Amino acid sequence: MTVSPALIYGLTGLALFVIGLAGLLLCPQLLRKILAVNVMASGVFLFLVTIAHGSGALIDPVPQAMVLTGIVVSVSSTAAALALLCRIRENADRRDPSQQKGGR
Amino acid sequence: MISPSSSWLIWPIIVPLLGAVLCFLAGKPPRRTGLLFAVLTGGASLVLGWQVLARGIESHALGAWRPPLGISLRADGAAALMVTMTAVTGLAVSIYSGGYFQSRLTGDDRDRRRLAQEQYFWPLWLLLWGALNGLFLSGDVFNIYICLELVALSSVGLTALSGKPPSLVAAMRYLLVSLLGSLSFLLGVGFFYKTCSTLELAAIIGALAPTPPMIMALALVSAGLLLKTALFPFHFWLPPAHANALSPVSAILSGLVIKGTWYLFYRFWQEEILLAAVGALPAILGGGAIIWGAFQAFSQQRLKMLVAYSTVAQIGYLFVAFPLLADPAGMGGPALFYFAISHSFAKGAMFLAAGTFLLQMGHDRIDDLAGVRQILPVSSFAFALGGLSLMGLPPSGGFIAKYLYVTTAITQGRWWLALLVVLGSGLTAAYVFRAVAAILSPRLLEERPQLAVAASMQWSALALALMAMLLGIVATLPLALLGVK
């Protein structure tokens, strides 16, 4: 059986999704969790782009439009998560100033 | 079926989005603008409900681009009912919020933070409202994904609004869980598109089949939605997020937001092919939620935590009846929707009342709330009425819903389900009585503090609780709307 590039890309996308999922569940640090979600998103996007390729020579634009929109959503939610993380960090520092130097 | 008049479908989505932008641009806390657009949104939603009831299903192709390329909006009875429910709860919460933010201004140095809270509350709340309506009315799965993300981001913003460390941590957890749920949903959408080559919800649901890619897609979509709906055992993120948020936000999250993802789950799972194969799965998880949530609610010390865990238990009811959807007499769907609406009203009223107690007393420790009814009789009454509907005592919407559950379960021979519903009602009674006993206790307060809350806070909660009661008396209207298919 010949392995088509589409299959490789699709499986890579799914693998990235699973790796990100593992990171989200297993990493205790919030920043790593946020990064893990981004890895998952990349996996989904790669998978969608693979679908666009399909079997024929023509490339389906719909999944590509989905990926473009998905990237916008992903950027904004990452920004929101990072802002929230900063606020949590500020609060923690205010309550316990001795921890300010280390632990970042 | 595209006529100029059917484009009314766009207003329940466009009006709140426009309001959100205007409120965001306003320099000072946009209470008037916010309230105005809340009333307009509520009005637009109610008109849509009335139109669907009078004329049947409404549908509209945005920009006259027809599916499969364009994005369609579609309101059948179920969608219109959810939009109407959101309008009623949303209006009560908006009126409450006006009084809430007014009452919290005390003149000390924390005012600036509280002003900022109100400034961001209105745009986020209107954005959330528009996104929820979009979720209910959208006929395109990718558009639904966008609405899911909008709902999630605005809910997280609202949760974080109180600025206190527990609510920030809860908001972070909520955000991560939501993103995980959305990505799982999106991957599922990818599988759907690969198999069906369309993003139209109706076409996808019509093409459901037990093939491996379809099973994969459904599993991913369902897991994402269950995670976002906080069905046991995925409920861990809900109580801290709902209990630590500002009080109007708690009512919005518990009363409305979880219903959005539940509704989507229902859209996929009402199909016979799924119910026959794995219909027991949501029922089993729902049963676990009913028992575990009630037990946790009973052992809470804080009133808002009790009400939040009660939401975990009540979500169980929203799923436990899924096997009943296969009912030949077709009473399973009405039972589920009746439960969803009465829970939205009753739980909204309870969270609003609990928020009034918290603001008046400065705490919400259940044992120290004794005597609060002397200062806040209307709110106490609203809380008790909401509790009655939650327990399922007549005459209330909760009673009708549970009556439908039990009778349908018995006619289908599912005795275990009928027993579970009755047992759950007993457990609900246990924790509701624990809270109500403290609130209505005849003990006198040692010193009677000055009334510190606006009247609109008390009366809006009561109005919502009365709506839950009204559902028990006027059952024909919502059932007729739901019957539009």
C-alpha separations of B293 from B230, B234, B244 in Å: 11, 12, 18
B146 in a structural domain: yes
Mean pLDDT confidence for A9-34? 94
Residue numbers in B near A48 (CB within 8 A): 186, 190
Q: Alpha helix (H) ranges present in chain A?
A: 5-26, 30-53, 61-95
Average pLDDT value for residue range A42-71 = 86
pLDDT at residue B363, rounded to an integer: 85
Q: pLDDT digit string (tens) for B276-330?
A: 778 788 999 999 999 999 999 999 999 999 999 999 999 999 999 888 888 777 7
Give the residue extent of every domain in chain A.
5-96
pLDDT (average), residues A17-23: 96
Coil, strand or helix: which one is A75?
Answer: helix
Instruction: Determine contact: B249 vs chain A, CB below 8 A.
Output: no
Please tell me whether residues B355 and B406 are part of one structural domain: yes
Please identify, among B115, B137, B159, the residue that sits at the C-terminal boundary of a domain: B137
Residue B144 scores a pLDDT above 70: yes
**Interval B59-106: pLDDT, tens:** 888 888 776 677 889 999 999 999 999 999 999 999 999 999 988 876
CB contact under 8 A, B165 and A80: no
Same domain, B206 and B99: no
Nearest to B165 among A21, A33, A91 (CB): A91
Across B398-404, average pLDDT: 91
- Is residue A92 scored above 90 in pLDDT? no
Residue B132 is predicted with a pLDDT of 96
Q: Which of B10-19, B204-213, B315-324 has the highest mean pLDDT?
A: B10-19
Q: Verify that B59 and B195 share a domain, yes or no.
A: no
| Residues 68 through 107 of chain B touching chain A, CB cutoff 8 Å | none
Specify whether B318 is located in the same domain as B449: yes
| Overall average pLDDT of the A11-18 stretch | 95
Note the pLDDT of residue B304.
93
Residue contacts between A and B (CB atoms, under 8 Å): 74
Q: What integer pLDDT is reported at residue A104 of this predicted model?
A: 39
Chain B's closest residue to A70, CA to CA, is B146
Residues B372 and B387 reside in one and the same domain: yes
Any chain B CB within 8 A of the CB of A17?
yes
Assess whether B337 and B416 both reside in one domain.
Answer: yes
Does some domain include residue B269? no
CA–CA–CA angle B277, B184, A76 (5° rounding) = 155
Asked if pLDDT for residue B4 goes beyond 80, the answer is no
Query: Are B370 and B477 in a shared domain?
Result: yes
- Same structural domain for residues B6 and B55? yes
Instruction: Give B461 to chain A, closest Cα distance, Å.
Output: 31
What percent of chain B has a predicted confidence (pLDDT) above 70?
97
pLDDT at B111: 74
| pLDDT given for residue B210 in this prediction | 84
Instruction: Tell me which residue in A24, A48, A51 faces B180 most closely, judged by beta carbons.
Output: A24
**How many whole angstroms separate alpha carbon B139 and alpha carbon B143?**
8
Higher local confidence (pLDDT), B161 or A54: B161
Q: Which of B253, B269, B292 is the last residue of a domain?
A: B253
What pLDDT is attached to residue B108?
63
Residue B116 sits at the chain A interface (C-beta within 8 Å): no
What tokens were used for B2?
């595209």
The number of folded domains in chain B is 3
Shared domain for B193 and B303, answered yes or no, is: no
Task: Tell me if chain A has a CB within 8 Å of the CB of B422.
Answer: no
Calculate the average pLDDT of chain B. 89
Min Cα–Cα distance to chain A from B23, Å: 20
Q: Which residue has the higher pLDDT, B198 or B460?
A: B460
Percentage of chain B surpassing pLDDT 90? 59
Whether B149 contacts B186, CB under 8 Å: no
Q: B473 with B435, same domain?
A: yes
Examine the domain organization and report whether B129 and B176 are in the same domain: no
Range of the structural domain that residue B317 is part of:
279-485
B273 in a structural domain:
no
How much is the pLDDT for A98?
Answer: 61
Is B187 at the interface with chain A, CB within 8 A? yes
Cβ–Cβ of A73/B157 closer than 8 Å? no
pLDDT higher than threshold 60 for residue B477: yes
The pLDDT assigned to B394 comes to 84
Cβ separation of A44 and B183 shorter than 8 Å?
A: yes
Residue A77 and residue B199: Cβ atoms within 8 Å? no
Q: What does the block give as tokens for B239?
A: 């109580």
> B290 lies in a domain?
yes
Whether the pLDDT of residue B143 is over 70: the answer is yes
For residue A81, give the nearest of B142, B175, B189 by CB distance.
Answer: B175
- The answer on B357 and B412 residing in a single domain is yes
Q: Tell me, which fold does domain A5-96 have in CATH?
A: Helix Hairpins (1.10.287)
Which pLDDT score, from 0 to 100, does residue B35 have?
94
- Partners of B180 on chain A (C-beta within 8 Å) are 21, 24, 37, 40
Q: What is the dihedral of CA B149, B150, B154, B157, to 10 degrees?
A: 40
The vertex-B379 CA angle with B374 and B383, nearest 5°, equals 115
Q: Do B153 and A85 touch (CB under 8 A)?
A: no
**pLDDT surpasses 80 at B447:** no
Alpha carbons B46 and B268: distance in angstroms, whole number: 26
Boundary residue ending a domain (B108, B137, B166): B137
* ipTM of the complex as predicted: 0.91
Task: Give pLDDT, residue A99.
Answer: 53
B175 — contact with chain A (CB < 8 Å)? yes
Q: Show residues of chain A in contact with B152, CB under 8 Å.
A: 77
Residue range B237-270, pLDDT digits in tens? 999 999 999 999 999 999 999 999 999 999 988 8
B172 inside domain: yes
- Residue B371 lies inside a defined structural domain of this protein: yes
Q: Is residue B263 part of a domain?
A: no
pLDDT given for residue B328 in this prediction: 74
Q: CB of B169 within 8 Å of any CB in chain A?
A: yes
